[in-house]
A and B are shown apart, each in its own frame.
Chain A
Amino acid sequence: MLADDMACNARNKYPAQVFNNENHKLNLYGDNVEVDYHGYEVTVENFLRVLTGRHEAAVPRSKRLLSDEGSHILLYMTGHGGDEFLKFQDSEELQSHDLADAVKQMKEKHRFKELLIMVDTCQAATLFSQLHSPGVLAIGSSMKGENSYSHHLDSDVGVSVVDRFTFYTLAFFEKLNMYDNASLSSLFTSYNPTLLMSTTYYRTDLYQRKLEEVSVTNFFGSVMETIHTDSAYRTTHSRKTSETKMPLQESVKHDERRQLINSNVQDQTSDTKIEDKQCPFTRRWNAFQDKLEKIERIDSLVNYGFIIMFPLLLIIMFPLLLISTWLLPTFVS
């Protein structure tokens, strides 16, 4: 929900670009941004409708929060606020008990499993003071009676481009490696009140899990390790080269795999002992099955199988063809 059109505003010296730093290195507006609610649609009513899911029938899916009882939701609010309210559009305000009621409705309708609310306004902590639904975590940039400040002014664009709380949140994430397992408690305790010029306050009384055990990717998007392949079926590229590229965190799985292989070997040795007592057919069948299980590259086997099948077919059909062509004239004559 973006209330003002900053990027394509006529006063923006850099059209279609929104920066969060005066070095202008990162364009937050990007090339593929999509904004569901903008301009006059950003109202408290629409916000509460999105949270509770109580839309009119014609509202399209892209404007609904399609969450269910297993969803983790991140709700980030910033702007001007005060004691128990957040200002919307310079004409209305969202009050803390309205937010608490909406979250209560969400919980009753099973619209989330865990919810993280981050508020970056003046007296932010008061906005979630009325919450009482389980599974909710909230952090605000300042406590009652304190202001939240902007970080720096970009004299080229002419406005302050980022607030202090947001700036230090971004700095925390930029220090992380993509596969780091940082916990939420490390995020929440990373804020320095002297640098922020306000005291961050967070509520964990409604949240069952310990913050040290919850990783930040619980809410802030996760990264799956993907291995890029050149083609759908690989016959020559060995998996070993990709394994060496795996970072340290994956070494646990490596060991597990080795253990499995060891257990297979053990099974084999035990099998050989039983082998003598079995009849030859079952012995050969078990050996075949063991060989199948050991094959790591089943796709290559299938490929080979296909490749072998066609010549086989030809070989089988060829005598039949010969016979038919030889038989036919003799039969007719």
Chain B
Amino acid sequence: MAILLSRRSNLLAVVVLLLCQLFLYATVSSSGSVLKQGGGEEFSEELLLKPFPDRKVLAHFHFQSRAPHSSSHGRHHHLFPKAIAQLVKKFRVKEMELSFTQGRWRYEQWGGFDPLSSNNAKPPGVELWAVFDVPQSLVDVYWRNLTHTLSGLFCASINFLESSTTYSAPELTFKPSFGNLRYGTLPREAVCTENLTPWLKLLPCRDKAGLSALMDRPSIYRGFYHSQRLRLTSSESGSDEVDSGIGLDQTLTVVLQPSSWRTGKTYSVETNIQPSWSISSIFGRNIPGKCVIAKSSNVYLQLDNGLVGELKNLERENAKYVANTFESEGFQSNHAFKISVTPDKVFEEVDNLHGKSTSVIYGFSVEKYSDSQPFDLGLTWKIPVVWSCQQAPLHASRFLMGSGNERGAIAISLEPTESSEGLPTSHIIDGRCELRVDIFQVVPWYIKVYFHTLQVFVDKQPRAMADVVDKIRVSPSKDKVSPGVMEMILKLPCGSKSAAFSLEFDKGFLHIDEYPPDANQGFDIPSALISFPSFNARMNFSEDEFLNNSPILSKFQHALQRHHHYMHSICIVFWIIAQCASEAC
């Protein structure tokens, strides 16, 4: 009996030991697997290239990072930048967009209707807007602290937006936010390498690998327009949205001119042909493979619908080139252009509401390229092609009227472009065809606007305000406290040839220390924002399931309902009038 017992205890001990070992292995392997998964964070990078009709090329980088909600993941981040996650948590940011831009987006040549220009044409300088998840009384305090933190993070003077003379709270023309939205711009802020450096540090691969390795600083800042943008969305867990957590979209939009001497073409023969370019000729570098941590890494080449229509027309005219048509599979050798790499996927836009030709996007995957075999995409034009990009429904411009140091007037003029000829029938409301236009304008306090002098002209005839203006919200400026905000929702009759508004103002008196050090340059009035809510800047593609994984293309599909059309800021020159008020002068 005793021997049996000892054997049993021996057996039990061995079994327990084995179980312990198994348990140990199980825990080790599970923790290892959790570490490998990365906690559900994702990162993807994309680049979109697009030729413009005025011999320039657009390069649009899009980096998207997603992190699931933090309560389930503590404070460990694998791909997502910790600085942003801490910012979202500390300032209870629900949505935020910060953009640094230099240059002006030329709507006439570069288009105003496609999703890219709607989302990425930004006013020059710094623009920041944020929606907070705090009670309305605390929003201003949180806004101030946010501006300071962002100025430290991005090496910019965003802290100037803390003073109430620089920011405003739009309600009508921006997204609905119930008073928790603050909007501010710094039109004169210079954007340079020091703003790009921390922006790139938020990416998991920095600028060492993947698409961000293309960013040659002199090439970017030599462009005609460059805009780096950061868009944050944060949603609470338990909400209805599929992707709760923090989403970070970083985009860099650059318009570059490929230099003709680099491609070695002689000037006299090829004056009408668009310059041929390649990634290495416009950036000076190739793509050395993808960022290993990225879920997907793609390059797209977009030919917009104006260009596709023009190519098809040219084909029809030159019937002898029927063998190599645009629609056939020989994309690489076409009669009009040649692409140096075979595309992996081709997307064609479908159901274009405007009945014109559809745009085409070629997709290239960077996965199979590496350091030894870098990716370089080139486009060579064979024949001269002239086309125009699709314009926004109305062309808006803003200018100053009057002269002298005492008073003046701001005028906004809206003129239709050719795309407004075929307006969709959804605009017909109550039997009248109307075009809805939203205008949002902020002027600094020293431009003392008299809102009662607002005059409306339609087809160069003065009209009553009630005819054209549906809603208007005005927040008059207070000297040295708050700027003047004007938000207008207009309903213009469809057949109108032009519309204009004018608003008179007095120039306020500034003390000598309120002038900036370079006062002779004048003051910049921030850009106004014009939206067309009834138009969809949306592109639908035939292959849907692939597109949901691609940030750029899914943005094209679910584009904002409204176009944002920024007018450039006006510069007003104030002459310094120093007055001695006391005998001590």
Contacts and interface: CB of A to CB of B under 8 A. Distances in A.
Q: Number of contact residues on A: which range applies?
A: 35 or more
B220 to A, nearest CB: 7
Nearest to A88: B517
B221 interface: yes
Interface residues of B, number: 39
Nearest to A61: B152
Contacts of A89: 517
Nearest to A62: B152
Given A60-B149, A327-B11, A38 B190 contact: yes
Contacts of A40: 157, 160, 516-517
Nearest to A30: B193
B148 A39 contact: no
A38 B191 CA distance: 11
A324 B15 contact: yes
Contact of A328 (B11, B144, B160): B11
Given A58-B144, A323-B14, A331-B8, A8 B197 contact: no
B571 interface: no
Interface in A6-55: 7-9, 14-17, 29-36, 38-41
B135 to A, nearest CB: 20
A60 B10 contact: no
Interface string A227-238: 000000000000
Contact of B14 (A31, A33, A60, A320): A320
B153 A7 contact: no
B197 A59 contact: no
A58 B193 contact: no
Contacts of B191: 8
A59 B7 contact: no
Contact of B221 (A15, A33, A41, A63): A15
Contacts of B153: 60, 62
A5 B197 contact: no
A9 B221 CA distance: 10
A328 B517 CA distance: 93
A177 interface: no
Interface in B146-164: 148-149, 151-153, 155-157, 159-160, 162
Given A7-B192, A58-B145, A90-B518, A31 B11 contact: no
Contacts of A91: 517
Given A31-B217, A39-B157, A8 B193 contact: yes
Contact of B155 (A29, A35, A323): A35
B192 A8 contact: yes
Nearest to B189: A39
A15 B218 contact: yes
Nearest to A60: B152
A5 B155 CA distance: 13
Interface in B505-521: 516-518
Contacts of A30: 193
Contacts of A59: 148, 152, 159
Nearest to B190: A5
B327 interface: no
Contacts, number: 102
B152 A35 contact: no
Interface string B480-506: 000000000000000000000000000
A5 B192 CA distance: 8
Nearest to A12: B221
Interface string A53-72: 00010111111000000000
A324 B17 CA distance: 12
B140 interface: no
A31 B222 contact: no
Interface in B202-232: 207, 217-218, 220-222
Contacts of A63: 151-152
B102 interface: yes
Contact of B10 (A33, A56, A58, A327): A327
A16 B218 contact: yes
Nearest to A37: B157
Contacts of A324: 10-11, 14-15
Given A39-B157, A40-B517, A90-B517, A32 B10 contact: no
A60 B10 CA distance: 65
B198 interface: yes
B539 to A, nearest CB: 33
B35 interface: no
Interface in A121-162: none
A61 B218 CA distance: 29
B194 interface: yes
B221 A39 contact: no
A38 B11 contact: no
B91 to A, nearest CB: 11
Contacts of B207: 31
B404 to A, nearest CB: 25
Contacts of B15: 324
Nearest to B15: A324
B581 interface: no
A5 B160 CA distance: 17
Instruction: Enumerate the 4 nearest inter-chain pairs by beta-carbon distance, A residue then B residue, closest first.
Output: A60-B152, A8-B192, A5-B190, A15-B221
12 contacts: A8-B191, A17-B217, A17-B218, A29-B217, A33-B193, A41-B160, A58-B148, A63-B151, A320-B14, A320-B17, A331-B7, A331-B8
Given A5-B190, A39-B157, A59-B159, 11 more contacts: A16-B192, A16-B220, A30-B193, A32-B197, A58-B162, A60-B148, A61-B152, A62-B152, A62-B155, A89-B517, A90-B518
Interface of A: 5, 7-9, 14-17, 29-36, 38-41, 56, 58-63, 89-91, 320-321, 323-324, 327-328, 331
